[in-house]
Structure 1
């Protein structure tokens, strides 16, 4: 495997033009997230590229909601708008937006070889590299180290064990007057985050990925039903009814205020949980998500954000140069140290400075290398409809509908979608 230093040298050549003389200075527009540390990190990195190349960068504000952001992209790209040169895209949008994105392979040299192969495969559509990984994510389990130690428990290895521990600690703490404590919080709102949770539950039980690699609908099987039924049993027991409206930040808010024993979330929540004003600072541990028990496996869904260049950009070479710089190992190292963003370079998981800031990163490497991918490349532009069918079904089960009946209905819905889409 190429070292981080080799990757850094390759990125340096790429953003400086790869030995080619770039045109006179131009302005490149990039869509970044519009809030907090994410906007700050994007702006600072883009400004570093601008200072090195002599070009200018314009940060274009986009909606915080990923659903709203995708809708904006689709609208603007369909009209061949030149408002964006570089787009920040969700890992599942490569297939959805591929027709509107340039092939980055001629501009990236050997750089793709240094990233996680699963991410490069995700970003390759019909042989074209339509995006480059910026940071990656995988679902993880946060837990209260102090509470588990207090009652003599180790971090759970199965969902069944997590359920038992959560119930026991919740009951013991409430008996001591901590009546606001819940056992487990997660993303239960009817949106993409619930699709991620549902796929993790199903895959961890050995129930597959909802859609097979060949495009067959596989969700209606006993293991998938068992997984979703267990999740449904949590609501009102170890999870509050309000979890049906939780997204990532709502779940984090409950956990970080000390009101939950366990939480499923993305790695970004680590830095926030360890912030100076966090009530749970120093009390939190992170491990891979549990398995589904005998015959199951730990399964975290692949997440993260990537960078792509619009086909309608007036300056594709300069835009690709910006992508190469922002996705380089040195820039990803900064993001990892300052804000716990998971690098897309395996070599950075051995970096002492990265591990000092994020001790749990070393444990995440196997989960990232074997993460479960959502079926976005298979479904292509129909993925949003597929995902909405999944999250609606999962939400119905969490709300109390019988898992066997609702999973059978989901398979029928997806079969009809496949017939119409013919993917």
Structure 2
């Protein structure tokens, strides 16, 4: 078995004051490019404002390895390992018992953040994390091709299907035999759970498990959403999409071989790079709604959490306030490129000068729908496994929507048992 370890890192800081520190905290430093520069900024602010010392650690870059290591540390009740760390969106419920309750200290900031992330970070009415940066599903499209064929970005999945069918046929007539109408993440993994949530919720079919923990997937609207997605395979989406994750999808789209693509906002920067064949040709829109429903987009991103075993909870909360305030989120955007979770920053002149594309994403972020991870707690991995496996069965033609909705209801109730825990 691979041994997972923490790495302690040093961030050089010029001009550090030579006073005696009251407490020493250990914070996760992002492994993203620019992470150490960002940590230096946080260290300077925290030590100057609080008189406490800040040290940094690095977790494994792979999300599953990081979670496994965190669980090892929590099981050992190692309060010295880390005080403040980044949680994946789908970990907040899973790590409920291992993280500090932040309700009294920071609950009054609710209205300053996007609703979806804040809801995601609330377990049984208690705030267990603070939104760090946001990510959601987005519809990318070829502006030049929609203009060429006198079409507008679609508002519904039915409209998208019509436009994709039309333009795919026309482009193939022009000799582009490998051109497709719609690309998404169809492989049987967490990314397919995100796509499935977006389809089902956009038709008004719910979010698989509601906020009270009830399994809600077995309904006619959810079945219609599954059937719509099934109809794309082999028509406007290649059968190969059943093996696509994010980067496979992006490669096909950025090579110019697809009209529409569902992916995450990171694709925007890459599509506009100097060496991109699509520079200046890509548009962004909310994901389409189901007929009679509303656009829905799966929430991604990361949150700041505090180890419940920390020896210095008050200092950890002071650090959390610095990490999540306007200035720190602006600095993180500038250095690392992560989208802020504070709504007001999307009207901030400095922010929009750095990242004008955020004006395209604000309304999309506001529609972010959390996966049913917080409510299902430690059982979410099994919940997601059931969702993406049943959805995959629909896409590869083994089940229709009605059968899939009933099948998924049975599986989720089996996972739930006497209750989510």
Query: Structure 1 length normalisation: TM-score?
Result: 0.86
Q: 1:311 to 1:347 in 2, by over 3 A?
A: same
1:288 aligned partner = 286
Alpha-carbon offset, residue 356 of structure 1 = 4.4
User: Which one of the candidate residues 307, 314, 317 is aligned to 1:320?
Assistant: 317
Structure 2 residue 368 is the aligned partner of structure 1 residue 371: yes
Q: What is the CA–CA distance in structure 2 between the aligned matches of 1:373 and 1:262, rounded to whole Å? A: 24
2:10 aligned partner = none
Q: What is the CA–CA distance in structure 2 between the aligned matches of 1:402 and 1:300, rounded to whole Å? A: 24
1:381 aligned partner = 378
SS of the equivalent of 1:188 reads coil
* 2:200/2:226 contact within 8 Å kept: yes
* 2:377/2:420 contact within 8 Å kept: no
Which range is displaced more, 259-268 or 52-61? Answer: 52-61
How does 1:229-308 map onto structure 2 within 5 Å? 229-293=227-291, 295-308=292-305
Q: What is the CA–CA distance in structure 2 between the aligned matches of 1:314 and 1:277, rounded to whole Å? A: 50
How does 1:90-169 map onto structure 2 within 5 Å? 90-105=88-103, 107-108=105-106, 111-169=109-167
* 1:267/1:341 contact within 8 Å kept: no
Q: 1:227 to 1:131 in 2, by over 3 A?
A: same
Provide Cα deviations, 1:325-368, integer angstroms capped at 9, x if missing partner: 22221222244456653321111111234334544533543433
Alpha-carbon offset, residue 182 of structure 1 = 1.9
1:417 aligned partner = 415
* 1:286/1:360 contact within 8 Å kept: no
Q: What is the CA–CA distance in structure 2 between the aligned matches of 1:339 and 1:48, rounded to whole Å? A: 12
Query: Structure 2 length normalisation: TM-score?
Result: 0.86
Q: 1:84 to 1:278 in 2, by over 3 A?
A: farther
Unaligned 5+ residue runs, structure 1?
1-20
Provide Cα deviations, 1:104-137, integer angstroms capped at 9, x if missing partner: 3455485454222443332232454221111112
Q: 1:151 to 1:310 in 2, by over 3 A?
A: same
SS of the equivalent of 1:304 reads strand
Q: What is the CA–CA distance in structure 1 between the aligned matches of 2:113 and 2:28, rounded to whole Å? A: 22
2:82 aligned partner = 84
RMSD: 2.5
* 2:29/2:36 contact within 8 Å kept: no
Which range is displaced more, 404-413 or 98-107? Answer: 98-107
* 1:185/1:251 contact within 8 Å kept: yes
Structure 2 residue 387 is the aligned partner of structure 1 residue 394: no
Alpha-carbon offset, residue 373 of structure 1 = 2.1
* 1:291/1:299 contact within 8 Å kept: yes
Unaligned 5+ residue runs, structure 2?
1-18, 48-52
Which range is displaced more, 73-82 or 93-102? Answer: 73-82
* 1:397/1:406 contact within 8 Å kept: yes
Alpha-carbon offset, residue 227 of structure 1 = 0.8
The number of residue pairs the alignment matches comes to 396
SS of the equivalent of 2:95 reads helix
